[in-house]
Amino acid sequence: MQTSAVPIVRDIVLVGGGHSHVVAVRYFAMHPLPGVRVTLISADAHTPYSGMLPGYVAGHYTYDEVHIDLCRLCAATGARFIQAEVTGLDREARTVHLRGRPDIAYDVVSINTGSTPQMRALGAAEHAVPVKPITGFHQRWLRLLDQVAQATRPLSIAIVGGGAGGVELCLAMQYRLRAETRAAGRADLAPQFHLFTSDGLLPTHNVGVQRRFARVLAERGVQVHLQTPVAQVQAGRLRSEQGKWFEADEVLWVTQAGGAEWLQATGLALTDKRCIRLHDTLQSITDPHVFAAGDVAAMEHFALEKAGVFAVRMGMPLAINLQRAVQGLPLHPYRPQRRWLALISTGDKFAVGSRGALGFAGAWVWRWKDRIDHRFMQRFSVQGMDGLAGMTPVAASSADSAIQLSAEEAQQAQAAVAMRCGGCGAKVGASVLSRALHTLWVQPNPDVLLGLDSPDDAAVVRVPPGKALVHSVDFFRAFVDDPYLFGRIAANHALGDLFAMGAQPHTATAIATVPPGLDRQVEATLRQMMQGAVVVLNAAGCTLIGGHSGEGAELALGFAVNGLVDVDADGQMAGVLRKGGMQPGDVLLLTKPLGTGALFAAHGRAAARGHWVQAALHSMAQSNQAAAHTVRRFGATACTDLTGFGLIGHTVEMARPSGVQVMLQAAALPMLDGALACVQQGMRSSLHSANARQHHAVDNAAYAMAHPHWPLLVDPQTAGGLLASVPAARVNDCLAALQRQGYGHACAVGTVRALPADAAPIVVVG
């Protein structure tokens, strides 16, 4: 979680994780502007480098070698990363629309989303695979590898598009699939390739390069169909505009690409391929607050190829102009090169160079290309990001770093950096608070007599007859830069105690801490965070009835939650699960994997891979409500939710009041991806050492502490799973039910037995 020593006064939002934006993020880290927050929004946590993608398809590179880890890049540079799908812009309100979550506000926004092929042929959208966006193609490519491995006849693969991208992809796929079938002793089942092009091969390159690739394709047995536009695609075949049908088990679309469909509704001036028309400053000709770069950009005075080289080189000019735009300074024109060098591989480790009328080829060209590509990717490798996280930024001059503020903004900024008041003087302003909350849709509850919609001093809630209240409270500072996601996890974490006890969530009050800043930034952060929380509370049937907000150095959120349980006429609780109650012969189940403490300790140092972090966040956002119902249905005798004290601490809390001993199977522990790697590298939560002192409750402490999984046994969890004891006879059915409900890591982690005399409550085995 990034914090700022000065209040945030401007927001630069980057839509898409393309080449220009990753270069810009690095530039912002090296040349930061005080008071400017950078937010990168991408549907994927990893973005591929187009220059190495054919090499990955051909099998020359691994997935990690050709992908930039956006989550890790943002953690290293201080940018805010939000994984979400963008669906549009509200240019009047200056917000980015996201699917399924609140809008993100911007002062200036840049769009670098790449492009998608124009699939205008009948049936192409249903039956063909666009190569862009790359994520969809990657998944289909992995399936095709499996399909070819299991095929009983040679498959027919069609590539639609005869430009450099289509030719290079065709040769890379053919090289890899031939190698795979030969290695499996099935060379006779290598797929047959067809390349369809509306005109000639590589039409933007010189005749010598075109002829060279025509020879290579012929030598490799690729059937090239020149001047053969595709008019229709069906399952297993396609039809040309001339009316001829061709068999095709797989159709890949690599024609000239354009911008995403949502751009059409923005009101921005676009080309016929939905690319954003730009001034030389990379600024939209329609809206000075909107910039673009990469494949989605169309400069008015320069006709640029859709090539990664231009996207990379746009990155620094784009970053400079975005910073100048938020400062109110004149922008600098970008002058792209008139000629550029293309290095096009032929599938094997051989490449062709093309620049204007010049063409050359050889294995040395591939090695040259390989060195260039690796040099670029090195800047975004683990070592490159370590350097970013530890570097001293280039200081900007006072003239260059000044941001022009309105009189009202200047007053708010001055107040934000002044010595902050304590007590009620530290509350968030009433108007900011009311605006942030007025859009919330809160779960209706007939028992709430006075709640969030009332200006009274306190809420009034009726307790239904035959019910008793269960109270719990949780509060912690943010560990992720996305306030909406943080709000979801904080609410989910707070509800965990109620679910574990078998209570039905009823009402909640919130306490939120927001860093000081301009009113609109504070309002936006508070609104994002509370909307995320309310989504979770509403889904649980829990009504938000009020709360308190204040200023602080870091974003933080917590909830006091109330739940209901049944009581009989004698005041006895019915169906409440407590920590004590485990019986000898029970099996201890855990519904979620371990490792959130270690992973986010590593993430705070930009040392955790993005897909590890995203998988952990997904786990933390998963509710325990369904799991709680399931373990109760299968006769659970005791239950708790796994949080800050770690597996050892919470197991002790269950074993001691139950008077039993638990044999924990260390080898059986479900672990989040990357968690073990993080602890092995010494990345541990600040609470780790305190939790590790629970070793005195372990009967075989020396063995346990030497076990490689010991750091995860004491790793503090946020929004962790349920720990429940279930009779052995019902364990398999219970686990099967949990798996069906989406708790894919649910498993047995221990057994319960009678406590031997003078023994500690836990034994670690396995």
Torsion of CA 85, 90, 94, 98, to 10 degrees: -20
Residue 304 neighbours by CB under 8 Å, 6+ apart: 297, 298, 310, 336
Residue 200 neighbours by CB distance under 10 Å:
14
Give the separation between CA 159 and CA 194, rounded to whole angstroms: 6
From the candidates 275, 424, 542, 639, give the one annotated as an active-site residue: 424
Instruction: Write the Ramachandran bin of 511: left for phi over 0, alpha for psi from -120 to 50, otherwise beta.
Output: beta
Omega of the bond leading into 133 within 30 degrees of 0 (cis) = yes
Among 339, 368, 370, 366, smallest CA distance to 352 is for 366
Query: Could you tell me the end-to-end alpha-carbon distance of the chain, in angstroms, rounded to an integer?
Result: 36
Give the separation between CA 738 and CA 450, rounded to whole angstroms: 38
Give the separation between CA 440 and CA 451, rounded to whole angstroms: 13
Q: What sign has the CA pseudo-torsion 136, 141, 144, 146?
A: negative
**Segment (H or E) for 561:** strand 556-567
**Number of residues that this document lists for the chain:** 766
Cβ atoms 723, 640 nearer than 8 A:
yes
Q: Which amino acid is at 529?
A: M
Residue 190 neighbours by CB under 8 Å, 6+ apart: 154, 177, 178, 181, 182
Give the separation between CA 638 and CA 192, rounded to whole angstroms: 61
Task: Enumerate the H helices of 31-130 as residue ranges.
Answer: 53-58, 63-66, 70-77, 124-127
Secondary structure string (H, E, C) spanning 244-278: CEEECCEEEECCCEECCHHHHHHCCCECCCCCEEE
- Supply the angle between the helices 625-633 and 483-501 in degrees, to the nearest 10: 20
Q: Which amino acid is at 374?
A: H
Give the separation between CA 728 and CA 637, rounded to whole angstroms: 11
Paired residues of 696 in beta bridges:
none
Measure Cα distances from 571 to 451, 464, 465, 529, 566 in Å: 28, 14, 11, 39, 9
Among 222, 205, 225, 113, smallest CA distance to 161 is for 225
Give the separation between CA 151 and CA 171, rounded to whole angstroms: 20
Place of tokens 């504070």: 522
Active site residue 678: no
Paired residues of 594 in beta bridges:
671
Q: Is 709 exposed, middle or buried (0-12, 13-18, 19+ CB in 10 A)?
A: buried
- Per-residue tokens: 77: 């540079």
Q: Phi then psi for 70, rounded to 5 degrees?
A: -65, -40
Give the separation between CA 17 and CA 148, rounded to whole angstroms: 32
Q: Which amino acid is at 535?
A: V
Paired residues of 481 in beta bridges:
none
- Per-residue tokens: 766: 């396995």
Residue 144 neighbours by CB under 8 Å, 6+ apart: 157, 250
Cβ atoms 568, 577 nearer than 8 A:
no
Cβ atoms 222, 194 nearer than 8 A:
yes
Query: What residues are annotated to the active site?
Result: 424
